[in-house]
Structure 1
């Protein structure tokens, strides 16, 4: 069942620390499931409790926020269960409310991450369920962030909960799957009233406190290093600014330093994974005071490591760009020739390398072609401007 309150975004109130509230969500949900609640109904009950907390806490803050959320969520669960058509099958569970007392110390956050990133879910559904069950966001907030109708997102989340309904809560999960889901969240960036990049960083930090794994540290470092450049990525008119043209004084040096420190500690454990390798590439970009000072030779070496780990054609596409910078554009074009031309951004990379090689006519044509394939408006406008710039140069 879906609670009507659960789909309504709570009003922001200065008296409620929403980040703290959301951080308690997986702990509270885990406690309900351990008490015997089914995941789907428990998750709705926790969402109801979060809405109630935003409404009442400014005037009457609880002494123990987690215990308050557990109590209210459990009561909401009992109300929903008693009203459900399956009441007879659950009579033993709802005969009595557990006596008041200390909240159990067990933290089931990690199991919730695994459950929400279950391999049986599509990536879209896994992301939505993670944001709601682990992140504590409402259906409306998630829908706004993904620019889809609230009803569509509610259906997606409901289907996801049905899919994992019979998954045992204590089954071991796959860390790699969880990290891929969090990376998907991060790459959505910002839209609506929820900053998904910041939310992904918060959830990855939370995961890092729950399980000690070098790839979790690698992903957190990668997110921080990329997020540190966010302010410099777009012009005031919203147009994209390529990495080489960004004002590096606008990069967040504190965030870069933290990302590098986390990465170095992870690499020291000698258990290299793809997120650590990606973070190492990002760190080399962040370390260069100017674009001309970038250590492209070392970046190519890290792309070689990454290609060995993933055998990803996208990695090889990015390596062709790096090779073009390290050994010249013709070396990059030779590497690009070995790749499938249908790869996303293949045409844009070819345009860039041809421009670096001095073939402005081919580059302009390819930029225009790439613009038609662009996945979003900002990228399409950027590529169109690149084509226009080269055509103007040729005309002169």
Structure 2
């Protein structure tokens, strides 16, 4: 029996790890432990509860105003001392590009434990955008023993970096998680969910907005806000719903600037609330990587509020449009999607390039054969 550790720290990691953890726990060939660093405490806990995951190790590293270098050093030390030296593991799974991913990969490497990297091969080809994620994922690729790529393009990125062994295209586990989440909320009272959102009128078209990434702080976010004001003024019959991230770089500006009756600033959404809201939306404006991957499976056009994206497959497939923080582009594309039914249908019916919901089984079968 192989001893497997799943190690993660943020809500997106937990979402994408959840279907994998479930698959491995149901297979008698593996002994499974989960470790969390809790970079996102409350948002992480909600996902763990939703997917019925209980952490075996909880480092709870989050402190106010921590620096990247301080966080990285703390993570390497505590992952090593409190997890890796306490038990013997054959393989450590990491997912994505957070500071937890890089620190966990380094800690496992120092202990000569094999590393499996989920969502491997994503590249923006700009080491400072997104920062520090682009460097985190590129460095992790140099340490990993198994590379599970969501798309052929991600695999090609690794091959160009001379990473050629144990590179597999499996799709993205976020689609597995999305389908599992939708199955779970099928049994939820929809009226209860509607009531949760207060004054939002779901008989109207919904434009869902999520924006929280570091590169959008400051002037870019202000531009995005003014674009939303223009959309609200041009389409008073449309509801713009924005679950505002608690980071003060976002929250303060949003509440100061976004003052329109049809712009609804609401609390950050739990995972099940978010995927339900996505399913009810007509258009999604986002800087989130996960939502870029999920939305096509729901038939929702995505406007990407970033200057560059490592998820170019969505743009190439026509499911996403890169608009950055350019007010003119954001307004023009949103209005086009709201007013041109043929254009909307073309984007909403494009196939999702990120997977079909079988990624977890593919990954488990490969590990069972090769580990």
TM-score, reference length from structure 2: 0.26
More helix by percentage: 1
More strand by percentage: 2
The structure whose Rg is larger is 1
TM-score, reference length from structure 1: 0.25
Which structure's relative contact order is higher, taking Cα pairs within 8 Å and 6+ residues apart? 2
